Amino acid sequence: MKNQQPTKFGMMWGMIFFLSLSFPQISEAGTYLVKRGDCLWKIARMHRTSVQELQKLNKIKGTLIHPGQILKVPDPLNHQKTNQTAAERINPISRQQSHPARKEDSDVITTARRFIGIPYRYGGACPETGFDCSGFVQYVFSLHGIKLPRTASSQAATGIQVADLAPGDLVFFSTEKTGLIDHVGIYMGNNAFIHASRSKGITITPLQDTWYGPRYAFARRLL
């Protein structure tokens, strides 16, 4: 009987050691084969994660990927935790309780500026294919770990509505007689916003613009 005790302990510690080695591998075991027409944003959305997380997992700095490339993707077991974190970031209550020094705003603006000149494309959500207005906003914020809905009208329900605009706020417009929100951009400061224009692609426009000015509806703050 005495000789069996070390064997039981040995088996127990061996199992613990095995599980400790296996657990980290399980958390990042998923892979994805890049197909023609894919972009990081599309893959991130498919796996319920962010572009930033994909870049971190795969140790890539830009957004350029190519067909046949194998990317690491988060384990589905971690998706719930990731989604909760993103949701907390756009929760109106948490925004009011912990208003930052707004370094995040300048980072978002810097990111948005990188895409100036990218052409407009209806339904577009990647720099490789072009952007529509809400696809552009969604993509920029995804690079900073914030998940937004796909359409301008849905994005208009996120964050908190503000009257005094600050860089990084979302600005919304109603361009049709229906009165519905159908256009969105990112406020840059100095009464200007960056957005995806049908005629100019990603561009900077004054809020007092003769066309957009009268159609401005409101602004909402995420950061």
Could you confirm whether 39 is annotated as catalytic? no
3-state percent helix, strand, coil for the chain, nearest multiple of 5: 40, 20, 40
Could you confirm whether 195 is annotated as catalytic? yes
Active-site residue identified among 39, 47, 126, 133: 133
- The angle that helices 133-142 and 51-58 make with each other, rounded to 10 degrees, is 40
Active-site residue identified among 39, 47, 126, 183: 183
Could you confirm whether 144 is annotated as catalytic? no
User: How far is 31 from 152, CA to CA, in rounded Å?
Assistant: 31
Nearest to 103 by CA among 137, 72, 144: 144
Cα distances (angstroms) measured from residue 5 to each of 17, 19, 95, 187: 18, 22, 56, 69
Active-site residue identified among 39, 47, 126, 195: 195
Task: Residue 169: count other Cβ atoms within 10 Å of its Cβ.
Answer: 26
Could you tell me which residues come within 8 angstroms of residue 142 by beta carbon, excluding any fewer than 6 positions away? Answer: 41, 44, 50, 51, 52, 148
Amino acid at 61: K
Q: Catalytic amino acids?
A: 133, 183, 195
